[in-house]
Amino acid sequence: MTTKQIIFLNNEYIDYEKAFIHIENRGFQLGDGIYEVVLYENNRLIDFDGHIQRLFRSADRINLKIEQNAEQFKEIFLNLLQKNQQKIGAIYIQITRGDGPRIQNMPDTYQPTVIIITKPYKAIKKQDLDNGFSAITHEDIRWHNCDIKSISLLANTTLKQKAHSQNCTEAILIRDNIITEGSFSNVFIIKNEEIITKGADKRILKGITRDRIIKLAQENKIKVTQREFSREELLDADEVFVTSSTLKIRPITTIDNVKIGSGKTGKITQKLIKIYKNFIENYSEN
């Protein structure tokens, strides 16, 4: 017998099939909301503190008041995982400004809509990790506040679909000939055994996994530099990889039909994959 999926919606645990929001929810009508995704493995919420702090930062940036605190969210996350008997996967949380007439002005009073759902994910096969993945480059057509983890993802999904239509897994974005990030990931290049990634500003989402990989690399004596780099540097890199909570570390070995380095996953990327895998297996919240 298949266990029914349970989700959290506005302070209730309910069946997935019975989860509905009002037609005039501002998230549905106006994209007025934020979200986060937290990896769950080995009975641990990986880097929960970083994700939940970013959730509150995003909320503050759009003046969205959240009723729950971090500890309450953690309890809800763990309860939901237990109810769904889920051992590995991700938690998706979305908070909108709630229901109300479809007007552009933000209401003075509102009741936020909180949706939390567990999602499974598939581990990348070793062969794919060894061979790497393909990407395209594209003009960054998104808005200029990419540091807010907004549910308004039309530009991102359009770019992702363009990559998919060319049998690629990601679109790497360019603004003024500077690589910003992927449609749903942060981008790293490696040149002469030095990891390079764009510094965090409003043009990119400051990824929690991005920050973790930087810290782990530095702890393992791998040089990391945060600076701008161009499309030319991207294509001339020895190695390229992207990161996110559910992608973890995904090597990119072809971009715009140009082979990166040897055309296979490079030694430093392979080393980082092992380091991050070990980090998750031994993760402690302390």
Q: Which amino acid is at 44?
A: R
Q: How far are the Cα atoms of 6, 8, 78, 114 from residue 83, in angstroms, in the given order?
A: 7, 11, 9, 18
- List, by residue number, the catalytic residues: 35, 149, 181, 205
By CB atoms closer than 10 A (0-12, 13-18, 19+), residue 11 is exposed
d(CA 113, CA 179): 35
